[in-house]
Amino acid sequence: MIAKNKWNIDLNDVIAEHQKEFGSWFTELNDFDISKVINKEKERFREFKDRNSKLVSSIIKTGKVEESEMKTLYESKGITIDDIRYQAELEGKKVSLPEKFYTDINKIKLGAEKEDDTEIKGLKETERLFYEESLLEAKAKILKKIKPNLIVLDKTIFYPEMGGQKPDGGTINGIKVIDVQIKDNIIIHLLDQAIKDAVGKTVSLEVDGVRRETLRKHHTATHIVNRAARIVLGDFVYQNGAEKDVDKAHLDITYYDKLSREQLEEIETVANETVSKDLEMTVKLMDRTAAEMKYGMSIYQGGAIPNATLRIVEIAGYDVEACGGLHCHRTGDVNFIKIIKAERIQDGVVRLTFMADKPALKHIQELDNLVKELMELWGVKREEVYKTAERFFSESQHFRELYEKAEAERISASAIASYADPVEIETKLDNLGILMKSLDSIKEQLGNKKVILKAERIGLAYPKSEETKKIMSEKYKEVSEKGNFLFGHD
């Protein structure tokens, strides 16, 4: 907007005025140096313009953007309708755009309302026994058989998939439970085969205790890591999504930049210090208004909860959240947390992938075994593994460069010396830039001779002609052109 209207203002100055005006009573405005965020966004905007301005200009020249093309530009390049419209105004050109694009894309994101094929209307809410976490076996009655292997019970000890936590596993009358979902407070169990028992019959439920325990620990670790991220990065960080599975979990947090290795290590350190303190975890039901007044709006880390009564999960002196998941009783039960990856999954959102307890230990053991194998293979000490790998990589790059130079020279010599026209040359070199340079450097010596270079996955033809295009089309699925060259790739 500032660029479009050519306003001579700096957002940092605007923020400074807001802090001066409102900071005395809205103290959160002064808790963080917002200029870091503003400057990073300005840098991204400049990079975006530099990267995409030529592409947007070429799109504008066509005069029209179809919805399918707009969707590709939006999802792969981050280019919006407003970006194209703004560039068109600067260039004094008109372009037809799919005006209903945002409405349609939001429908895709939200997902169309699924047809109610579960036939649960009129059934009473399923009694939830899964919060009695020590209860791994129980009896229940079949209320509805939606399909031979899809049933609703009057009560259940199986935690359904919700709040990012994967469902419990186990058996019903000895038949494996492969999924548990909840809809309109009715819990539906999917079995891996038909159950013979009729509606009204009592069945035996048994939860997989090992799976349950791992899910509880990963859910607890999510709370611990989330709070650790806020301590390290700032209270402006919020949870943007999460998933807790048996092999690993991930937490999406709002943050304006990618995390440094130092920040990641600090978050992991704070998280594990919290584990080692073995803090008590308590769960209580509270009136929504009372909970908000006591703890503030930060309890909604997992998103808004439209209930009058909230299930409050508190880690003593560390964190408080409204959450319907299954948790440990103390932070020490998690044993250990290892953050294995941090990646920006979209603008302003960073995903932290981590493991707790046995999955974390297994991950570290696998890494340790890998290092030991490299030590044995290379005959070096542990502290020498990195430098040795770095040396091997540098040497391989050097040999690669020597090979590319020698292969380019071979191709040039073969093309000049051959009496064939077109001359076809097989090569293992798949660097298009080098292949183009090798032909471009001898184009005067080639005269009108045509050359086809065939690599395993790509091909190059010079000069472009009907004959060379036909040859390329027979070998490669797609053929495109640039200048006087033809490119082929599968």
Average pLDDT per 10 consecutive residues for the chain, totaling 490 residues = 75 83 74 78 75 82 85 77 82 82 56 52 93 93 96 97 95 97 94 95 97 97 97 92 96 93 97 98 96 92 85 96 95 97 90 97 96 96 96 94 93 92 90 87 90 88 88 86 85
pLDDT at residue 166 in the model: 96
Strands (E), 215-328: 239-244, 249-254, 281-287, 309-315, 319-322
Degrees, nearest 5: CA angle 126-131-132:
110
Burial (CB < 10 A; 0-12, 13-18, 19+), residue 235, is exposed
pLDDT at residue 106 in the model: 55
As a whole number of angstroms, the distance between CA 333 and CA 213 comes to: 10
pLDDT at residue 111 in the model: 42
As a whole number of angstroms, the distance between CA 359 and CA 221 comes to: 12
- Mention the CATH class of domain 410-489: alpha beta
**To which H or E segment does residue 470 belong?**
helix 466-475
pLDDT at residue 117 in the model: 47
Query: Strand 485-489 and strand 170-172: pairing?
Result: unpaired
Q: Which two tokens stand for residue 475?
A: 């070998």
Contact 363, 340 (CB under 8 A): yes
Alpha-helical runs (H) found in 379-461: 385-417, 432-440, 443-446
pLDDT at residue 30 in the model: 72
The structural domains of the chain, with segments of one domain joined by +, span 2-109, 127-207, 213-364, 410-489
pLDDT at residue 4 in the model: 65
pTM of the shown model: 0.75
Give CATH superfamily name and number for 213-364: Threonyl-trna Synthetase; Chain A, domain 2 (3.30.980.10)
Contacts for 84 with CB less than 8 Å, ≥ 6 apart? 56, 59, 60, 65, 95, 97
Q: Which residues pair with 251 in a beta bridge?
A: 242, 352
pLDDT at residue 109 in the model: 45
Contact 337, 224 (CB under 8 A): yes
Q: For the domain made up of 127-207, give the CATH fold.
A: Elongation Factor Tu (Ef-tu); domain 3 (2.40.30)
CA distances from 235 to 168, 275, 299, 438, 479 (A): 33, 21, 12, 56, 52
